[in-house]
């Protein structure tokens, strides 16, 4: 596995983007009509762009248009027409068929899109396809940095761009992730990979209306282990999102093992990742294992208190905090060690079986409140 510079450019896709103020547009064009599949938000408030993409993706995909600054959500029939117009406009500018263009949007909910601004952006980007980095920047909202990634798995590549910093919660978070590969994939591969990556990350327990992950196949390679590679790719992208989460100062990697079942492991990992008390404790450099134990206890996973163990992993050093009962450790010293790191690991062994799972979250800081109090 090798990380390559850039993203979709490594697969021969044309891409570009432009953003001015709050409003950006990204375009991606593939060399031919390609097989594609997508995973969408499970929120019952579904934005029109996702409805349009759901209806069109079965036609095959040759281009994607995505905008930031306006989610085009809760906009009714006009929102559907505007999303369809975006596809038509992008198709015309890129010289492809409208039926093979899909759309994604992110930003403020409840406002109609400004077609004048979008038309100007789409025309500009189509004439100057400056590359994947520009596309990644164009879809940012509260993100502080663009997210592009390409991994060579030895014989085939997976690449993509993403946005996501807030309203990040399992069962699809506020995210757009647009991926391509020069390999083939099986129907359902993307959903399986999402369940082991994006659906195991959390920033703030809020789920958006516009979440979408798309996978496009531009090649015909048939490698072994593609699903495992796709899962790895999605996990790496998820880590980038959590690290750039709104107000996040530390990434928290949670690993649960020894669960009675794999399902129980996921329940416990997600509960710990979602816990505001765990997140606040990490922000305060406070190794409060009681918050972790409580989250595991209410997660719904099978649990025997006397068999559970909890460690904090700070700078590669694991400290056992609980082993059926509270362990003696230097809390002040461990807190000082937490101050100087960007990632903290929490390891929980339930001692009941072989089920295991990982999840990713961020701490909860003062800046998160400030960012979202002012977001409009």
Active-site residue, from 174, 231, 232, 361: 174
Query: How far is Cα 317 from Cα 319, in angstroms, rounded to an integer?
Result: 7
Count the residues in the chain. Answer: 376
Contact 113, 210 (CB under 8 A): no
φ, ψ of residue 187 in degrees (nearest 5): -55, 130
Helix (H, G, I), strand (E, B) or coil at 303: coil
Q: Which two tokens stand for residue 313?
A: 């992993």
Q: Give the residue among 182, 183, 138 at the shortest CA–CA distance from 161.
A: 138
Give the angle subtended at the CA of 143 by the CAs of 141 and 145, to the nearest 5°.
Answer: 125
Strand ordering across the sheet containing 355-362: 201-202, 355-362, 251-259, 343-349, 309-314, 317-323
Q: Which two tokens stand for residue 122?
A: 């789409």
Question: Is 75 an annotated catalytic residue?
Answer: no
- Give whole-number Cα distances, 10 to 126, 154, 192, 223, in Å: 19, 14, 25, 18
Give the angle subtended at the CA of 343 by the CAs of 338 and 347, to the nearest 5°.
Answer: 85
- Give whole-number Cα distances, 301 to 125, 169, 253, 321, in Å: 49, 19, 19, 20
Contact 158, 230 (CB under 8 A): yes
DSSP element (H, E) containing 56: helix 48-56
Helix (H, G, I), strand (E, B) or coil at 75: coil
CA torsion angle for 110, 113, 114, 120 (degrees, to 10)? 150
- Give whole-number Cα distances, 69 to 19, 104, 114, 357, in Å: 9, 12, 10, 35
Catalogue the E-assigned strands of 2-49: 2-3, 14-20, 23-40
CA atoms within 13 A on the CB side of 296: 29
Task: Catalogue the active-site residues.
Answer: 174
């Amino acid at each position: 596995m090798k990380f390559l510079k850039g993203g979709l450019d490594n697969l021969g896709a044309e891409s570009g983007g432009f953003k001015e103020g709050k409003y950006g547009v990204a375009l991606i064009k593939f060399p031919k009509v390609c097989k594609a599949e997508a995973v969408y938000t499970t929120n019952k408030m579904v934005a029109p762009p996702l409805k349009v993409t759901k209806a069109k993706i079965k036609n095959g995909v040759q281009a994607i248009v995505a905008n930031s600054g306006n989610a085009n959500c809760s906009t009714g029939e006009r929102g559907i027409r505007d999303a369809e117009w975006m596809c038509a406009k992008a198709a015309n500018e890129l010289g492809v068929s409208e039926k093979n263009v899909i759309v994604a949007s992110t930003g403020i909910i409840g406002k109609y899109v400004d077609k004048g601004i979008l038309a100007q952006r789409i025309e500009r980007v189509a004439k100057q396809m400056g590359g994947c980095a520009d596309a990644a920047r164009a879809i940012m909202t509260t993100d502080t940095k663009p997210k592009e990634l390409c991994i060579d798995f030895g014989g085939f590549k997976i690449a993509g761009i993403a946005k996501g910093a807030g309203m990040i919660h399992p069962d699809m978070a506020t995210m757009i992730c647009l991926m391509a590969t020069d390999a083939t994939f099986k129907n359902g591969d993307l959903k399986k990979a999402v369940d082991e990556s994006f659906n195991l990350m959390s920033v703030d327990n809020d789920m958006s209306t516009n979440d979408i992950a798309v996978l496009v196949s531009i090649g015909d390679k048939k490698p072994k282990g593609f699903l495992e590679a796709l899962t790895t790719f999605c996990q790496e992208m998820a880590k980038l999102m959590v690290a750039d989460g709104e107000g996040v100062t530390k990434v928290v990697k949670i690993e649960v093992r020894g669960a009675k079942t794999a399902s129980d492991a996921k329940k416990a990992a997600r509960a710990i990742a979602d816990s505001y008390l765990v997140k606040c404790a990490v922000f305060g450099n406070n190794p409060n294992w009681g918050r972790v134990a409580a989250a595991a206890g209410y997660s719904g996973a099978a649990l025997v208190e006397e068999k559970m163990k909890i460690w904090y992993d700070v700078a590669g050093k694991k400290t056992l905090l609980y082993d059926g009962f509270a362990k003696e450790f230097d809390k002040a010293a461990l807190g000082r060690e937490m101050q100087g790191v960007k990632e903290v690991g929490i390891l929980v062994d339930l001692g009941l079986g072989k089920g295991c799972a990982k999840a990713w979250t961020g701490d909860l800081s003062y800046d998160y409140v400030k960012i979202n109090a002012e977001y409009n």
